[in-house]
Chain A
Amino acid sequence: MSDAKPDDGLISINIDGQEVRCQPGANIIEVAASIGIEIPHYCYHPKLSVSGNCRMCLVQLGLPGKDRATGQPMLNADGTPIIQWFPGPAIACGTKASPGMHIRTDSDMVKQCREGVTEFLLLNHPLDCPICDQAGECRLQEFSAEHGRGYSRFTEEKNVKPKRTVLGPRVMLDDERCILCSRCIRFCREIAKDDVLGFTDRGSYTTLTCYPGRQLENNYSLNTVDICPVGALTSRDFRFKMRVWFLKPTPSIDTETSVGCNTEVWSREGKIYRITPRRNDEVNDTWMPDSGRELYKQVEAENRLKQAAVAGQPASIEEALAAASKNLADGPVAIVGSGRCSVEEQYLLKKLADALGAASRQLVSRIGEGDGLLVSADRNPNVRGALLTGLIDDLPKQRLDDLAARIDAGEVRTIFAVNEDLTAAGLSAEQLAKATIVYLGTHANATSEAAAVVLPGLTVFEKSGTFVNQQFRLQKFHRAVPGVPGARDDLFLLGSLLANATGSQAPTVVASVWEAMAAEIGPFKGLSFAAIPDTGVLVDGSAFAGLPFVEGKSLHYEPAGMEAAATS
């Protein structure tokens, strides 16, 4: 205590004999976690309010004693302060750090508390682990093994509660497993702003219930399944599909909007079973929208392109690439890129457009309605990547009317479409028939049917790369499963086309594309794919500050215009 303290506004507290410096008022569970001490808890969640009802995080608190008469600190013979421990335990989640505070997380009293709390939580808990989807990632399972007594003294009949309550279109409730931590209730109230859940009845009759006539059906309902510390809330999509210990998580990005929620893709043996959010305090905290969790179904979709084709006939990739290069050399060429392509693909596409002297380079914009949380108005995940790589220099439009006019005027003979359906973007079948189309994409559509050459590419789950989200945050996604047989990595296809067009070598893997991009693109200077942290890195997007981006305010994002409006 006598050490000279740096004036950084931090205070010193003592956890199990270790001195820790932390912010005044910091949460004890978080401070303990920062030095590797786990205080078990169920109801506490770092992104929700503290309710303090599970009682699992009980610890012993103490303060350095002061002599009542003199006000002087009471000291031991060796000069250390005498700690006066509080007679009863206190919950760590509801305790804020204050100067000189002492905390014991491993005393006999704390151990007895945890054992007692665990015993009470398990009184009426069913022995469901073999059929429970949460088994393997269940806090109750883990803490019962760690802090429980190992056998039951309960000889009475357990409570019987409904086991298959449908709470909403995506969430199912098993009432017997619920430990009444209220995380889901607080999530709906505080984050989703859709206050439909609540407890009814008292004592052991307490039940999690939906408001009569309502359903848990907001676009964030599956987050309650993620934060449920037990198996009470389960996803109806993932229910009974696979045990979690078989699944391998791969860091990825939600591609449905420009928010770029960080996700984890859980797969086993090349099959994806679920998508869950990955914590990133700068982007999505620990949440993600339900709509983004179903995107994995596109991998095994019926209309997936699995075979390269030339003039409607199946061909090998090499034949298709040769035919595509021949068609693209027959200009003038229009390039239609996609805001769903990765930065690397957009960069190679830009290089290809330069090499071909493309007459037109466009993206197709997708505008929806933002919900102010984690779904933004721009439904393309990577429009800003196309701006940074120089593929486009203005915001894309929803319809390719400009391209249509050029086709009608005979100014465009060949169209290279990457992952975009030209018909959906406003071109008519007659216009498509007037031009030679080379299509690189993942799924069959009207454009792929009209195309002279079809190159099958990979979905975001089958390749690695980066996206730039609405904050100009560069974020990585990794390959979770191998590509479907027959399809090839988009980077390989684009790199091969670029090599054919220029007659020299071109990069075809993420790392080598990044070498070229870091050398050429100012905001990417000094970056490499391996060096980008999993939580992303902000790049300089000030050059595009004047563009009228469509996104409104969302979690951790303020549109530039609104900031200016707020300050003026």
Chain B
Amino acid sequence: MPVKVVERKPLTLAERTYLPQILSGLRITFRNMFKPKVTVEYPEERPPIPPGYRGVPTLVKDPDGREKCVSCQLCEFVCPPKAIRITPGEIPEDSEYAHVEKAPQEFEINMLRCIYCGLCQEVCPEEAIWLQNIYSVTGTSREELVNNKAKLYELGGTLADKHFKWEKKRRAAERGNAH
């Protein structure tokens, strides 16, 4: 095996005194001492969450309290790690929202599988699933980390709706143009 011998240069006087290195290091230390602090005292102190942050996916209701999800299962289809599992169901005819016809019977997001990619939010035609600003998910069992429908609505809360698509449909039905 061929061996290449690398010549090792002798240290200069400045290097042998070691002072320039110490001084340049101290310069960095002192500079940072007077800069504003960038760390926070987690968990007592929480960092600000910027808008558009992709935290835990949640289900939301519209300002009237109607659950927006119609269980079209597009999020289940698009989810890369297959974290979402929906059992579709029918809204009974005596319900206030019978005109929407369909709503999830059960909706589960497995947070052990979720990769926070946000595709579910992007694909949702009803703007019902949102990745909000919860970022710390802990639990002591696997079951605890599967968010069911009740938990998802509890986390999601209510979100302002720009469209009121189904409300418009109901009003159209009441107002006329009936055939």
B121 contacts the other chain (CB 8 A)? no
A157 contacts the other chain (CB 8 A)? yes
B154 contacts the other chain (CB 8 A)? no
**Of the candidates B72, B90, B169, B179, which one forms a contact with A207 in the assembled complex, judged by CB atoms under 8 Å apart?**
B179
Residues of A within 8 A of B178 (CB): 159-161
Asked if A157 contacts B172 (CB within 8 A), the reply is yes
CA distance A163 to B172 in the complex (A): 14
Among A238-246, A287-295, A337-345, A487-495, the stretch in contact with B: A238-246
Residues of A within 8 A of B140 (CB): none
Given contacts A130-B72, A243-B73, whether A161 and B179 have CB atoms under 8 Å apart is yes
Residues of A within 8 A of B101 (CB): 131, 163-164, 240
Using an 8 Å CB-CB cutoff, how does the interface string of A157-187 with B read, 1 for contact, 0 for none?
1111101100000000001000000000000
Asked if A158 contacts B177 (CB within 8 A), the reply is yes
CA distance A239 to B93 in the complex (A): 14
Asked if A157 contacts B70 (CB within 8 A), the reply is no
Asked if A240 contacts B177 (CB within 8 A), the reply is no
Distance of B174 from chain A, by nearest CB (Å):
9
**Of the candidates A126, A131, A164, A241, which one forms a contact with B72 in the assembled complex, judged by CB atoms under 8 Å apart?**
A131
Using an 8 Å CB-CB cutoff, how does the interface string of A212-245 with B read, 1 for contact, 0 for none?
0000000000000000000000000001111101
Given contacts A205-B179, A246-B77, whether A239 and B90 have CB atoms under 8 Å apart is yes
CA distance A463 to B42 in the complex (A): 58
Distance of B93 from chain A, by nearest CB (Å):
7
CA distance A126 to B73 in the complex (A): 19
CA distance A127 to B168 in the complex (A): 12
Q: How many residues of B contact A (CB 8 A)?
A: 26
B46 contacts the other chain (CB 8 A)? no
A429 contacts the other chain (CB 8 A)? no
A20 contacts the other chain (CB 8 A)? no
Asked if A160 contacts B102 (CB within 8 A), the reply is no
Distance of B21 from chain A, by nearest CB (Å):
64
Asked if B77 contacts A160 (CB within 8 A), the reply is no
Distance of A210 from chain B, by nearest CB (Å):
17
Distance of A86 from chain B, by nearest CB (Å):
36
Residues of B within 8 A of A135 (CB): 72
Given contacts A130-B125, A161-B179, A246-B77, whether A240 and B173 have CB atoms under 8 Å apart is no
Distance of A117 from chain B, by nearest CB (Å):
21
**Of the candidates B90, B99, B125, B176, which one forms a contact with A129 in the assembled complex, judged by CB atoms under 8 Å apart?**
B125
B100 contacts the other chain (CB 8 A)? yes
Asked if B172 contacts A158 (CB within 8 A), the reply is yes
Asked if A163 contacts B99 (CB within 8 A), the reply is yes
Asked if B179 contacts A240 (CB within 8 A), the reply is no
A204 contacts the other chain (CB 8 A)? yes
CA distance A243 to B86 in the complex (A): 11
**Of the candidates A130, A243, A246, which one forms a contact with B126 in the assembled complex, judged by CB atoms under 8 Å apart?**
A130
Distance of B2 from chain A, by nearest CB (Å):
60
Residues of B within 8 A of A243 (CB): 72-73, 77, 88
Residues of A within 8 A of B177 (CB): 157-160
Given contacts A130-B125, A205-B179, whether A246 and B73 have CB atoms under 8 Å apart is yes
Residues of B within 8 A of A161 (CB): 178-179
CA distance A158 to B169 in the complex (A): 9
Residues of A within 8 A of B73 (CB): 242-243, 246
* CB-CB contacts below 8 Å: B94-137 with A: 99-102, 125-126
B74 contacts the other chain (CB 8 A)? yes
CA distance A131 to B86 in the complex (A): 14
CA distance A161 to B75 in the complex (A): 30
Distance of A151 from chain B, by nearest CB (Å):
16
Distance of B154 from chain A, by nearest CB (Å):
24
CA distance A164 to B100 in the complex (A): 11
Q: How many residues of A contact B (CB 8 A)?
A: 24
Asked if A164 contacts B70 (CB within 8 A), the reply is no
Asked if A241 contacts B179 (CB within 8 A), the reply is no
CA distance A76 to B88 in the complex (A): 63
**Of the candidates A131, A175, A246, which one forms a contact with B102 in the assembled complex, judged by CB atoms under 8 Å apart?**
A131
B165 contacts the other chain (CB 8 A)? yes
* CB-CB contacts below 8 Å: A229-276 with B: 239-243, 245-246
CA distance A164 to B90 in the complex (A): 12
Asked if B89 contacts A160 (CB within 8 A), the reply is no
Asked if A164 contacts B179 (CB within 8 A), the reply is no
Given contacts A159-B177, A163-B101, A240-B90, whether A131 and B77 have CB atoms under 8 Å apart is no
CA distance A245 to B73 in the complex (A): 10
Asked if A130 contacts B70 (CB within 8 A), the reply is yes
Given contacts A164-B93, A240-B88, whether A130 and B179 have CB atoms under 8 Å apart is no
Residues of B within 8 A of A240 (CB): 71, 88-90, 101-102
Asked if B179 contacts A131 (CB within 8 A), the reply is no
Given contacts A129-B125, A243-B77, whether A160 and B172 have CB atoms under 8 Å apart is yes
Residues of B within 8 A of A205 (CB): 179
CA distance A321 to B86 in the complex (A): 41
Using an 8 Å CB-CB cutoff, how does the interface string of B72-85 with A read, 1 for contact, 0 for none?
11101100000000
CA distance A330 to B87 in the complex (A): 52
**Of the candidates A129, A204, A239, which one forms a contact with B179 in the assembled complex, judged by CB atoms under 8 Å apart?**
A204
Distance of B80 from chain A, by nearest CB (Å):
16
Q: Which residue of A lies closest to B98 (CB)?
A: A164
Residues of A within 8 A of B88 (CB): 240-243
* CB-CB contacts below 8 Å: A178-216 with B: 204-205, 207
Distance of B54 from chain A, by nearest CB (Å):
23
* CB-CB contacts below 8 Å: B160-176 with A: 165, 169, 172-173, 175-176
Residues of A within 8 A of B74 (CB): 130
Given contacts A157-B177, A207-B179, A245-B77, whether A131 and B100 have CB atoms under 8 Å apart is yes
Q: List 24 A-B contacts (CB under 8 A).
A: A129-B125, A130-B70, A130-B125, A130-B126, A131-B72, A131-B100, A131-B101, A135-B72, A157-B172, A157-B175, A158-B172, A160-B172, A160-B176, A161-B178, A163-B99, A164-B93, A164-B101, A204-B179, A239-B90, A240-B88, A241-B88, A242-B88, A243-B77, A243-B88
Q: Which 8 A-B pairs have the closest CB atoms?
A: A130-B72, A131-B102, A157-B177, A159-B179, A160-B173, A243-B73, A130-B125, A160-B178
Given A160-B177, A164-B101, 8 other A-B residues pairs in contact with their CB atoms under 8 A: A159-B179, A160-B173, A160-B176, A239-B90, A240-B88, A240-B90, A242-B88, A243-B77
